[in-house]
Amino acid sequence: MPASQSKDLPQKILTINFGGIGDEILFLPTLKEVKRLLPSCRISLILEPRSKSVKEVTNLVDEVLLFDIKKRPLKPGDYLELLNLTRSGKYDLVISSGSSPMVAMLLFASGIPVRIGYGTSALSRLLLTHPVPLNKEQYAGNMYHDLSGGLEKYLAQGFASIPQSSQAPGIQIPEVYVQESSRERMRTALGEEEEKLEERLKSLEDSFALAAADTTSGAAERHNRSNKKRILLHPGTSRLAVQKGIIKTWDSKHWLELIRKLLKLDNTEVILAGGPDDEEVMKDLQSELGEEAKRIINFYGKTKSLADLAALIEMSDLFICVDSAPMHVAVGLNKKVVALFGPTEPAKLIPQTKNFCALTDASKQVVRSLLDGLGVRLLPDTVFQSSLDLLKQE
């Protein structure tokens, strides 16, 4: 590309994507494409305060700006604050995932010369310089990635050439970055917990009660540490989803039965993890497990950040969870994932590839209401067998 044209390439890029951590992770392929097309650009991302930690698991974002779109009621001053955020950086180009005409009006009022978004209405198509179609009936990573088509169109119209992708079009799987500091911290913490587990297993093995029941399992776990498989369970989901009435959880009694089945496997290690929103389910499991709780590693509260959780997931061989932000982190790390779905639609939220197993109520004939309050309706045997199958898969 001639130097004279290089000077005109947009360098200050504003992106806007409101939603939870999962939405921000699903948006990463779009940001990656922006960086591919504009390698020297600087990307600012406006998101909700609850999702600011996404910066910990990506190196694609140079600056995070916060706006609480969920605030109620939103007053004129709030909209002015958002408008000022879009204006303050003197951006060359903006990409927004918002689909309402109000978003297009905001982008137009920002004065940013190149405005890319979903052309969902006549007004949106008028106010956006490069509207793109919105297709919600696909994996959300691809839905967001469609926005990059507006950027390609803009660059193709105004510049001699744009970088060609070396990859064929396909599923836009996010890529999550793990900080080395978190990786080292989690490696040390998990090593300490594994040593404590070995001591507990030895003590339990020496007791008459466990010896009468099954001594081989504990011995196998202690003597084959180099070959053991780590199975990480994350039972929780976001508190905001629950507040909205979107119940994506699985009953504690089913988690309990699954854990007991996993504990019977040779050469495996069961690890429980959870964040601040998961206190209730973690306490229930610990209480119901009783003495069996000594045979698992309870990592609840030990991951102090999203970066720590990503590092812990990276160290696992299998991740079992419900539809949640940690699921998207695991997908972004390309780990083996068994994801349990309730009212939400797997095809839109998890890629259909061999590493990711999405389980949903096989008996449902129609799409469930998000507000049906029924949560995950799966049998522990189904989840257990799917976990075994995925573990064995090369």
Q: Secondary structure of 78-132 in the HEC alphabet?
A: HHHHHHHHHHHCCCCEEEECCCCHHHHHHHHHHCCCEEEEECCCHHHHHHCCEEE
- Indicate the pairing of strand 130-132 with strand 114-118: parallel
CATH 3.40.50.2000 domain span(s) along the chain: 3-158, 180-392
**With pLDDT > 90 as the criterion, what percentage of the chain qualifies?**
75
> What is the enclosing helix (H) or strand (E) of 256?
helix 252-263
Taking CA atoms, 133 is separated from 21, 26, 124, 150, 298, in Å, by 24, 18, 11, 10, 46
Q: What is the mean pLDDT of residues 323-337?
A: 97
On the question of pLDDT at 211 being above 50, the answer is no
pLDDT at 283: 86
Q: Which residues contact 206 (CB under 8 A, 6 or more apart)?
A: none
Specify the CATH architecture of the domain 3-158.
Answer: 3-Layer(aba) Sandwich (3.40)
Q: What is the mean pLDDT of residues 210-233?
A: 61
How does residue 275 score in pLDDT terms, banded at 50, 70 and 90?
confident
Residue 75: beta bridge partners?
none
pTM of the model: 0.91
On the question of pLDDT at 366 being above 90, the answer is no
Q: What is the mean pLDDT of residues 220-238?
A: 76
d(CA 62, CA 47): 13
Q: Which of 130-134, 197-201, 214-218 has the lowest mean pLDDT?
A: 214-218
How does residue 218 score in pLDDT terms, banded at 50, 70 and 90?
very low
pLDDT at 215: 45
Tokens of 145: 């990635």
On the question of pLDDT at 209 being above 90, the answer is no
CB 16 within 8 A of CB 116: no
pLDDT at 221: 44
More confident residue, 296 or 7: 296
Specify the CATH architecture of the domain 180-392.
Answer: 3-Layer(aba) Sandwich (3.40)
Residue 44: beta bridge partners?
14, 63
Tokens of 24: 């921000």
Residue with tokens 């797997």: 346
